[in-house]
Amino acid sequence: MQDYTVLRELAGSIGTVFLVLSFAGFVLFALRPGSRGVHRDTADIPFRHDDRPAADADAQAAHAREPRQ
Better pLDDT: 62 or 10? 10
Dist. CA 10–CA 12, nearest whole Å: 5
Mean pLDDT estimate for the chain = 80
Distances (CA, A) of 52 to 49, 59, 60: 5, 13, 16
- Model pLDDT for residues 19-42, shown as the tens digit of each residue: 999 999 999 998 888 888 888 888
Query: Which secondary-structure segment (H or E) carries 15?
Result: helix 2-30
